[in-house]
Amino acid sequence: MLFAAWFGFKNIKREVDLAQTKSDFVSNVSHELRTPLALISMFTETLAMGRVKSEEKRDEYYEIIQHEIDRLSRIVNKILSFSKIEAGKWKYNFALTQINSLINKIFDTYKFHLQNKGFDFAIEDCSERITAYIDPEAVSEAVINLIDNAVKYSEENKKVIVRYGIESGRVFIEVEDFGIGISSADQKKIFEKFFRVTSGNVHERKGTGLGLTLVNHIIEAHHGEIKLTSDLGKGSKFKLLFPRI
C-alpha cells in the first residue's frame, strides 16, 4: 500500500513538474520574442516618421533592426530544430570536413559581434590539419550554441576561448568562459529539455532551455561525448569529443 502511494505520488509530482516546465518554457519563449519585436517596432516607427535626420543615425537604426531580426530567426530556428529532433525528422549530412576551417569560419562570423559586446574572443589555433567525418552544419550549430551561452552567462570577466585538436585519438572542440559557472547539482540537469537554472540572477537572462539539448543530440548522433568542467563564480568549459571517422 505504502509503495503504491509513494509510486502514485512520484507520478503526480512528475506530471506537475512537467506542466510547470512547459509553462515556464512558454513564458521564456514569449519573453525572448517580445524584446526584439519591441525594438524592431520602435526603430521602424521612428524611421517611418522621418524623425531621424542624420544618415549616420539612420544607418545605426537599420543595423539594430537587422541585428534583432537575426536574433528572432535564431530563436525560431532553435525551436524548429528541436521539434524536428523530437519528431525524429532531423537529417544529418555527414561529410569529410576540415575542422580548422570550420572553426575559423565560426570565429570570423562571430568575432565582431563578440568584440562589440566587449568580449576578448580568441581561438587557440591548432597547427595540425584535422579532418573528421561529421555533419559540418550540425557541429557548427553546436559550437555556436556553446559560444552564445558563454556570452550570455558571463559577467565582468568577458572572455571566451575556443580550442580544438586531437585528444586520445578523438577530435575535440572546447569552448571556455569565465562567467557565472554551474553548480555540480545543476550540471546533471542542464542538458535536459527546457531546463534552465533558476537560482541567482540567471532567470534575468533570456533563453528557451533548448540550446544544450540540441548540442547533446548533435553530439550523440556523432557517437561523441560532452565533458563539462565548471565552478560556480569562476566559469565553465564545455568540451565536445567525437571520433574522426
Question: Would you tell me which residues interact with ligand ADP (CB under 6 A)?
Answer: 149-150, 152-153, 177, 179-182, 190, 195-197, 202, 207-213, 236
Query: Between 33 and 47, whose beta carbon lies closer to ligand ADP?
Result: 33
3-state secondary structure the chain: CHHHHHHHHHHHHHHHHHHHHHHHHHHHHHHHHHHHHHHHHHHHHHHHCCCCCCHHHHHHHHHHHHHHHHHHHHHHHHHHHHHHHHCCCCCCCCEEEEHHHHHHHHHHHHHHHHHHCCCEEEEECCCCCCEEEECHHHHHHHHHHHHHHHHHCCCCCCEEEEEEEEECCEEEEEEEECCCCCCHHHHCCCCCCCCCCCCCCHHHCCCCCCHHHHHHHHHHHCCCEEEEEEECCCEEEEEEEEECC
User: Of 132 and 141, which CB lies nearer to ligand ADP in the complex structure?
Assistant: 141
In Å, what is the CA distance from 124 to each residue of 103, 121, 158? 10, 10, 17
**Cβ nearer to ligand ADP, comparing 138 with 212:** 212
- The least distance separating ligand ADP from the CB of residue 197, rounded to whole angstroms, comes to 3
Q: Which is nearer to ligand ADP, 144 or 166 (CB)?
A: 144
If the CB atoms of residues 109 and 199 are measured against ligand ADP, the closer one turns out to be 199
Cα separation, 218 vs 225, in Å, equals: 10
Minimum Å gap between C-beta 190 and ligand ADP is 4
Minimum gap (Å) between residue 145 Cβ and ligand ADP: 6
In the complex, the smallest distance separating the C-beta of residue 133 from ligand ADP, rounded to whole angstroms, is 26
Query: In whole angstroms, how close is the CB of 203 to ligand ADP at the nearest point?
Result: 8
The answer to whether the beta carbons of residues 241 and 224 sit under 8 Å apart is yes
Q: Which is nearer to ligand ADP, 40 or 190 (CB)?
A: 190
Smallest gap from residue 208 Cβ to ligand ADP (A):
5
Q: Which three cell numbers stand for residue 166?
A: 586531437
> Between 164 and 194, whose beta carbon lies closer to ligand ADP?
194
Cβ 114 to ligand ADP shortest distance, Å: 14
